[in-house]
A and B are shown apart, each in its own frame.
Chain A
Amino acid sequence: MGFYIFSYFCAFIFLAAVACRVYRQLTLPVHLRWEIYPVQHEPTDKLVHGGSYMEDLNWWEKKLKSSLFNELKYMAPEILLLRGLWKENRSLWWVSFPFHFGLYLMIATFALLILHALLVLGGGEAYVAGGVIGALLGGLIVFMGWTGLILGVVGSFGTLFRRLADPALRAYSSFPDYFNILLVSFFFLSAFIACLLVDPLLIGAKAYVFGLLTGGRSLNAYAPAESVFGGAAILLASALAAYVPLTHMSHMFMKFFFYHKIKWDDAPNLRGGGIEDDILKNLRLKPTWNAKHIAADGRKSWADLASSAPKETK
């Protein structure tokens, strides 16, 4: 039961940390524009050269076009295959890609394990007894799990090696950087050994996830602590889920904000529009910058300061 309690606790931390991060981003004030081109939601005729609507004569008189298809066409290989890294830093890609893709496959395997548990709960004995869906799902779980574990082991130890071997990376790495990679590496390694030695068909994993959904009622009476490596994998996976959103590794999902709220945020401020309302709110904020030329006193608003001329030079 201790394993389950630990997993529930970690899941709670995960959800709370993700919620905090996302909530904070959503409640930040609208900022000045700072996009970088190409902006991937531009229509194809612009996107091919990295152009924007500002290339058009009197663009404000036209309806702005945007392409969700182009955006998805970019995002899918960027997220799944780390296309940016492939383009900009190929030698790192060879270790970073298996590292990340291994993690994605673990998440996907976990999702399939939940699906499996739900089917068992919904379909009961009939589903467990067999059938095409059960066999397909079981096969997929084994395939994804194993591929993810192999890629993960290669990628995480490769990343660790790169960080240690490359003097430029080593010079900027501190304890948490190594700790993070080690945590992931040990998870992959323990899960890999557990599967290799005692659970090649991921039956134990299925049982544990079923147990997670049923308050500790394990399928097939599986007890994770029976296998040291299996137990370690469960503990490390749970800890990792709680830990990732607390660290810079949250870039895995925070990348959304980097792209949509900054790099591609080209929404113009049109008179009477929603952005204008937000700006007006911001202009009422009262800064306290101390340099004399700013002349802030905590009472004057941004609008006051921006419409005044600097009296002092410094």
Chain B
Amino acid sequence: MKKHLKPSDMAMSADCLCPIESGDLSPLPFPYEDFNSRTISPLNPEKVKNLETSLDNTLAVGIPKPASKEEEEVLIRQFLCGLKKLFEKENNWTFLQQLLLSMEHCAKCQTCSEACPVYEMSGKKDIYRPMFRAEVLRRIYNKYLKPGGKITARLTGGIDLNWTTVARLAELSYRCTLCRRCAMACPIGVDNGLITHEIRKLFSQEMGISPKELHEKGTIQHLRVGSSTGMNPLGAKDSIEFIQEEMEEITGYKVEIPWDVEGADILLIHNAGEIISWPENVGAFAIIFQAAGLSWTLSSETAGYDAVNYGVWYDDVQLSRVALRHADIARRLKVKKIVVGECGHAHKALIETADRILTGEINIPRESALVTLEDIVLGGKLQLDPRRNDFPVTLHDPCNYVRLMGIVEPQRRILRKIAPRFREMTPHGVDNYCCGGGSGFAIMSGYNFAEWRNLVSSRKKFLQILNAFENESQAAPKYVCAPCSNCKGAIRDILSYYHAGERSSLYYGGLVELIVNAMESMKKPIIHFGDQPSWT
């Protein structure tokens, strides 16, 4: 295997361009050294025999191999056609300026590489350098779409465009969490995360190629059935009814969750994954909003009870469709504002990115739940006893609303008030590291991709969590507060993969659970560490 892979090597014939081998990954400390020799389990040859698997040890998209040379050529032509459209305002007004600037000004200084947790934790594999995939795209564009490109490519560094290059590039666009830490570090401002995003769009919008968790089971199902979880409105109402009962059982506090209240001040939209995987989060929101006397509602309309918008990661048209649906539901309910629950990408999609899609009467004001919660907690609307949260707490910063939206302090001001043993990770705030589940990875687990995520993209976050609690005994229960559904999913998976519950007594949950846990009106705690209640 070559020591340093160059962008032109993407066209090279090899069964696996960049394998991750035992001992390659960045080492973990005690008591996790046994994972240091662990590598990704091989793909099942039966399952992948018709798929393009020649990039690394895993698969996120799983692109079928073309059946013939002709089909291969058609696909390459489609790719080039899509690439051209990325540079046309009719097709890509949404990100044209960002793309042009980033494509034209990279100085190849590699500063971005040091900022990327995937690159660092992979043991510095070249293909995971932020600028690697950008440079592949740049070279293809310069050679195949710019006038005279085939001649200048001899000097500027060419690349051969074959089906392998195209398929590997599609896969490689799903080895980056779009955390944009690299863009923050770039001394010029070049955004390799953006270029990855554009590559994903090209494949989805032109060629219909995307991971099924994001598309078929994601945005398509969301728009058709009502939620990317597959839950229809009836199912959502049933589940919420169940949550109401559960909450009373768990905390001894009776809560009523309002549906479709026209003219309410707030339409609260959760990531529907919470309803299924973390019902206590939905229940905790209801308890807080009710106790604070807020006028609020949930919506039972198709897509109105699921804030996710996977389009923000791979497809601008799907992004717009979902955002429009959310905003229109709020318009019809005549609410004053939409409040987005603990879901980072939903924040970014609906509050920030879609801000320049929503016009006129569907441009309904949108706010982060963290801001609403801060007003409740710091405004003295609840009676709180922080001693109930007398255990070590650290905070994960979801990239989507921290680095990418500047919502940094409300959650901290809350924690300082309710969690006396709160401590920061290093680094934190806008300098944070991604949970490793960003850009859809948290919900992508086909083939052996979840293993790649746990071992590579989430590794840095795991190290940060361990470091945050390094002065605590392994046996003391500790709480990782992750106020974002996808981050929570990724953190749940790393804690389980590394047996961190058993080995370091690590637990995780959202922010609202900590608030409810500290509410004096709760007869019983909402947070438990295994079978143990957090207070008695």
Question: Which A residues contact B (CB, under 8 angstroms)?
Answer: 24-25, 28-39, 42, 46, 49-60, 82, 84-85, 88-89, 92, 96, 167-169, 171-177, 248-251, 254-255, 257-259, 261-263, 266, 268-271, 275-276, 279-280, 282-283, 285-294, 302, 305-310, 313-314
Contact = CB atoms under 8 A, between A and B. Distances in A.
A54 to B, nearest CB: 6
Contacts of B110: 89, 168-169, 172
3 closest residue pairs by CB, A with B = A52-B406, A258-B189, A174-B157
Contact of A285 (B89, B101, B204, B206): B89
Judged by DSSP, the binding face of B is helix
Interface stretch (B35-43, B356-364, B478-486): B356-364
Given A35-B404, A169-B110, A308 B321 contact: yes
Contacts of A286: 90
A291 B206 contact: yes
B407 A52 contact: yes
Contact of B353 (A30, A33, A46): A33
A290 B403 contact: no
A172 B6 contact: yes
A293 B318 contact: yes
Given A58-B365, A309-B224, A173 B405 contact: no
Contacts of B207: 290-291
B155 A176 contact: yes
B371 interface: yes
A134 B410 CA distance: 58
Contacts, number: 269
11 contacts: A46-B406, A49-B408, A49-B409, A54-B371, A89-B187, A167-B3, A268-B355, A275-B356, A289-B82, A291-B205, A306-B357
Interface in B402-429: 402-410, 429
Given A55-B410, A282-B94, 10 more contacts: A34-B191, A36-B180, A54-B368, A54-B407, A55-B408, A254-B101, A293-B215, A302-B320, A310-B220, A310-B321
Nearest to A288: B91
Nearest to A96: B109
Contacts of A282: 93-94
A89 to B, nearest CB: 4
Given A251-B188, A290-B82, A290-B206, A172 B183 contact: no
Contact of B405 (A32, A54, A89, A283): A54
A191 B17 CA distance: 47
Nearest to B354: A32
Contact of B98 (A31, A49, A308): A31
Nearest to B348: A33
A62 to B, nearest CB: 12
B18 interface: no
Contacts of A37: 402-406, 408, 430
Contacts of A29: 89, 93, 96-97
B97 A310 contact: no
Nearest to A59: B367
